[in-house]
Amino acid sequence: MMQIKTPDAMSDLETWLCYLEQLHPSTIDLGLDRVKQVADRLDLLQPAPYVFTVAGTNGKGTTCRTLEMILLAANKRVGVYSSPHLLRFTERVRINNQESKEQDTVDAFVEIEKARQDISLTYFEYATLAALYQFKHAQLDVVILEVGLGGRLDATNIIDADIAIITTIGIDHVEYLGNTRESIGREKAGIFKPKSIAVVGEPEIPPSILDVANSVNCPIYTVNKDWSYQQIDNSSWQFISPLKKYNKLPIPNIPLANACTAIAALGYSSLPITENQIKEGLEKASLIGRFQTIQTSPMVIVDVAHNPHAASYLAKQIEFLKKKQSHNGKVRFVIGMLKDKDIKSTLSLLNADQWYCASLYGERGCNAEVLAQYLQNDRQKNITTFETVYDAYQKAMQDAKEDDIIVVCGSFYTVSAVLNELGN
């Protein structure tokens, strides 16, 4: 077997990422022993005085973003780790709302490479350690960690969170997490620790989540029982809990359910946050690739929705948008998906006047013809297939009239393909 040459501090980030992709025999290798050992050697197990960890099937990124913007409004020094990235690897780490610099990431990789010795790490474990390394050296007040997959065995779970959040529970990643909401809930609740406070935004909470909280003696607060929210009109909503009540909060550019979960988590934390800081944070909370409008006339929306829960939300948002703006044009979907997703259920929740199905490549990519077959079986019409996402997007743009809506969705890879080509 050919020896892989180890990069060094003078190597660029691309060289390091190619190296990491070849290092470990499998992309996903769930378990905490290896990554925790390396983190311990680098003294990374307490990256900041206060830590939020966010798990869930959907809504993790926008919940993290809401926490981040409110905490920044409260003059806290904040670090966020999220995945996957859309355009650049350095998006995975934000420190005080600034994307990580390539050289800082390389410097972290160099130190991890020295410390790991003969311990094998996956790409994601390396990325997680690099984030923790940068956070530790930035001397932050708060770190927010987005779980990559599941919770219990995800690399982020080497850190004991002060507040452990679960956003939603849906069927996804069944080969790793099980095929029931009970088993998936149990895996995600693995982020609960004896010193944590658990906050759950899933309205139909699986009993397994409550069981895990009880077994580790972790206090748990859940939506519609311990806190709730209500939209007042098109521009405001209210948050209600026994601790706090906030009236006339601004509606952010992210799902209200996720914003509400973030506010609840802050309420149960020991961090002092004012209503004005919450309002300021909400007004600034938006995230690339989450129902993001990148063009008007025709309107182009990109959304990373890739499972039934997210597709249902996306469909409702499009209907709301059509009513709000009196859109009479056609809805055109540019879609590419991974074959390990629940394609049938996801597509069944979306409606389009015209479908542009694109192939995604790599071992997990789904062929456009497969997507088209699912749509035909669901009695959808006007379906064309394309070799690449950008080909599909270009054809949709050529076909579109000014009052049409083009939606690019189905995967992070689909959205990033369009954003990369547009140089966004």
400-412 pLDDT, tens digit per residue, is: 999 999 999 999 9
Residue 7 is assigned to a structural domain of this protein: no
Which residue, among 139, 135, 129, 158, has the nearest Cα to 53 in the 3D structure?
158
CATH number of the domain residue 267 falls in: 3.40.1190.10
pLDDT, position 180? 86
- Rounded to the nearest 5 degrees, what angle is found at the Cα of 147, between the Cα atoms of 144 and 151? 125
- Give dist(CA 302, CA 315) in Å, integer: 13
Q: Identify whether residues 268 and 368 lie together within a single domain.
A: no
- Residue 5 in any domain: the answer is no
User: Dihedral angle at the C-alpha atoms of 46, 47, 50, 55, nearest 10 degrees?
Assistant: -100
- Would you say residue 341 lies in a domain? yes
Tell whether 277 and 131 lie within a shared domain. Answer: yes
Structure tokens at 269: 């934390």
* 318 and 223 within one domain: no
Task: Please state, in angstroms and as integers, the Cα–Cα distance from residue 398 to each residue in 2, 64, 286, 393, following that order.
Answer: 48, 37, 29, 9
Domain limit, last residue, from 259, 284, 309: 284
Q: Specify burial of residue 173 (Cβ count, 10 A radius: 0-12, 13-18, 19+).
A: middle
Are 299 and 280 members of one domain? Answer: no
- As a whole number, mean pLDDT of residues 20-36 equals 79
What is the per-residue pLDDT for 364?
86
Same domain flag for 241 and 268: yes
For 338-407, give the DSSP string: BTTS-HHHHHHT---SEEEEE---STTBPPHHHHHHHHHHTT---EEEESSHHHHHHHHHHH--TT-EEE
Q: Are residues 328 and 247 in the same domain?
A: no
Alpha-carbon span 315 to 312, nearest angstrom: 5
Q: Is the pLDDT of residue 1 over 60?
A: no
**C-beta separation of 144 from 156 below 8 A:** no
The residue from 284, 314, 349 where one domain ends is: 284
235 phi and psi angles, rounded to 5 deg: -125, 0
The last residue of one of the domains, among 284, 309, 338, is 284
Encode pLDDT of 250-276 as tens digits. Answer: 999 999 999 999 999 999 999 999 999
Residue 2: predicted pLDDT:
47
Q: Are residues 52 and 182 in the same domain?
A: yes
| In a shared domain, residues 273 and 367 | no
pLDDT of 178 over the 60 cut: no
| pLDDT tens-digit map of 67-97 | 999 999 999 999 999 998 999 999 999 999 9
Q: Is residue 22 part of a domain?
A: yes
Other Cβ atoms closer than 10 A to 274: 11
Name the domain count of the chain.
2
CATH of the domain at 383: 3.90.190.20
Residue 66 shares a structural domain with residue 93 = yes
Q: Are residues 277 and 368 in the same domain?
A: no
**Nearest partner of 221 among 258, 279, 268, judged by Cα:** 268
- Type of residue found at 266: L
What's the DSSP call for residue 214?
A: H
Which residues 6+ apart lie within 8 Å of 121 measured at CB?
20, 23, 24, 34, 35, 38, 112, 129
Q: What is the mean pLDDT of residues 157-169?
A: 97
Based on the domain organization, do 192 and 340 belong to the same domain?
Answer: no
* Residue 195 covered by a domain: yes
Domain with 242, as residue range(s), is: 13-284
Q: Which residue is listed with tokens 């919940």? A: 63
With a CB cutoff of 8 Å and minimum separation 6, the contacts of 81 are 92, 93, 128, 131, 132, 135, 143, 144, 145, 146, 156
Going by pLDDT thresholds of 50, 70 and 90, the confidence category of residue 150 is confident
Quick check: is 206 in a domain? yes
Inside any domain, residue 186 = yes
Looking at the structure, tell me whether residues 277 and 338 fall in a common domain. Answer: no
Confirm whether 164 is domain-assigned.
yes
Query: How many angstroms separate the CA atoms of 83 and 185, rounded?
Result: 20
Query: Residue 291 has which token pair?
Result: 């129902």
Classify burial at 305, counting beta carbons within 10 Å of its beta carbon; exposed 0-12, middle 13-18, buried 19 or more: buried
Share of the chain above pLDDT 70, in %: 95
- pTM reported for the whole predicted model: 0.91
- Name the β-bridge partners of 229: 239
